[in-house]
Amino acid sequence: MWENPKNDLSHPDSAIRLASAVHRFRVPKMNGGRKISFAESFATTGKHEKTRKLMLKADDQRKKLLDAVLSDKVSHERVVAEAKRYQPYIHQILVSCKFQPEMARLDQRLVFEWKSGVETNEDYFKSEAIMMDVTMCIICEGLGKAGVATESSMAGEFAAASREYAAAAGIFQFLAEDHLPKWIARGSKTNEDDLPVECCTSTAKGLSIMFQANAQQMAIATVLIKPGTPNYSLLAKLCMGVEEQLDEFISHMRKEAFSQMSRIEKDFFTLVNFQITLQKSLCYYFQARSMWDQGDYGLAIAILSESTVYLRTEEISSTKNGMPDVAKIPSLQALTGDLNDLRSHMGNVLREWEKDNSNVFFETVPRSVPTDKKLERGVRLNKVEKYHFADVDPVLLSMPENALERTDSDLARELHEKLNAGED
């Protein structure tokens, strides 16, 4: 009358939760104690009506973004929305200064202070470059999108999560390939060590690769939650694709951003390495299920057996394939129950298959999986939503005629301010 649970060999919910496990980044934070007013800083040169309106709008919208990122309970959707509203204003101010450099004179200094959303370091980075504010605004949108994706995945809305990660990947691709190289090339004094790590070109490229992998993880979960038997062959290739992307991310960071890696949260890399091993195991698992459904029973058992090897707990110092002891790693402890459940499930499937093969099919089980039967490469969806940086027109910056006659005392005061620029 009651179905024996061990005979239910369909993939468990734990596989879905593990396959979609991702790191939750913070959004960057502004220093709420640092007053920024474009209207006051451009009081003299920004008297034109259109210019004045722009400065006031920028001040108002920056305050809204500040409130969003400093909220006790951050809403990632709100951060994304406020960043998107602020970006055209700060971009227009930047373009106006770029086209009229001789008129870009400030009544009071602008010092932008931002805290990274990716680094372990809790210190604020300071810069007088308006480009810094533009860049961090874009990063707020990118990490905000990743935050929305994480929340969607936790709610089981994997298709929506995949789209949000694709958007985050597109934003960081734009930063890496277009925006940041121009900034670093233009400002010879700009040193990436003095900027939040996500402002570094190589790190931005790495995050773009990472978020593409996350988008594909969500695509896998989308397939797994659908009723009925999934396309196991496709799932195997998708899992291998995620593994390849995560491997590419790690190798890119080690080669191109090694100095920045040490500044990024350690828990992040711990989860990435866990996922590389997990996706390898899931790849073999889904391939085995595909082989079994095709009637290749002996090979299916050999491949599934290989899959279980990657889920075994191994010492960190061990050269064997396998998992670290997640129960002893604070950042992975929450996955312990699901990992044990997946191990138990794979063990049950393997025992049932071996029993069926011994009693019914009598196929020879290879001692190891033949090389020509292993998947050579995965399928990579490369989900990236292209990011568009809207063109803006400069507004007029102008000096009153009498202000153009600079006195010796003006020059002396400016020199004094420059020499003491490091004092806050």
At 298 the three-state DSSP class reads helix
Residue 276 has which token pair?
């590389």
How far is the C-alpha of 35 from the C-alpha of 54, rounded, in Å? 18
pLDDT confidence band for 17 (50 / 70 / 90): very high
Q: Please report where in the chains the tokens 């277009």 appear, as a residue.
A: 178
Q: Tell me how long the chain is.
A: 424
pTM value > 0.85: yes
Q: Work out the average pLDDT over 250-268.
A: 95
Q: Please report where in the chains the tokens 């010492």 appear, as a residue.
A: 315
How far is the C-alpha of 288 from the C-alpha of 137, rounded, in Å? 46
Q: At what angle do helices 336-356 and 297-309 cross, to 10 degrees?
A: 160
pLDDT (tens digit, 9 = 90+) per residue, 33-64? 999 999 999 999 999 999 999 999 999 999 99
pLDDT confidence band for 402 (50 / 70 / 90): low
Specify the CATH number for 7-34+111-393; select among 3.40.50.11890, 1.25.40.280, 3.40.50.720, 3.10.180.10: 1.25.40.280
How far is the C-alpha of 99 from the C-alpha of 102, rounded, in Å? 9
How far is the C-alpha of 383 from the C-alpha of 11, rounded, in Å? 25
The whole-number pLDDT of residue 189 equals 66
The kind and range of the H/E element at 113 are strand 112-115
For the chain, percent of residues with pLDDT exceeding 90: 85
pLDDT confidence band for 182 (50 / 70 / 90): confident
The whole-number pLDDT of residue 409 equals 61
Q: Work out the average pLDDT over 344-354.
A: 97
How far is the C-alpha of 414 from the C-alpha of 423, rounded, in Å? 14
The whole-number pLDDT of residue 418 equals 60
Q: Is the pLDDT of residue 305 over 80?
A: yes
How far is the C-alpha of 375 from the C-alpha of 255, rounded, in Å? 27
Q: Is the pLDDT of residue 3 over 50?
A: no
Residue 69 has which token pair?
């990122």
Q: Where are the domains of the chain?
A: 7-34+111-393
Give the alpha-carbon dihedral of 95, 101, 106, 109, to 10 degrees: 80
The whole-number pLDDT of residue 411 equals 60
CA 26 to chain centre: 10
pLDDT (tens digit, 9 = 90+) per residue, 272-291? 999 999 999 999 999 999 99
pLDDT (tens digit, 9 = 90+) per residue, 57-112? 999 999 999 999 999 999 999 999 999 999 999 999 999 999 999 999 999 999 99
Task: Give 33's contacts (C-beta < 8 A, 6+ positions apart).
Answer: none
pLDDT (tens digit, 9 = 90+) per residue, 132-149? 999 999 999 999 999 999
The whole-number pLDDT of residue 424 equals 45
Question: Does residue 168 contact residue 149 with C-beta atoms inside 8 Å?
Answer: yes
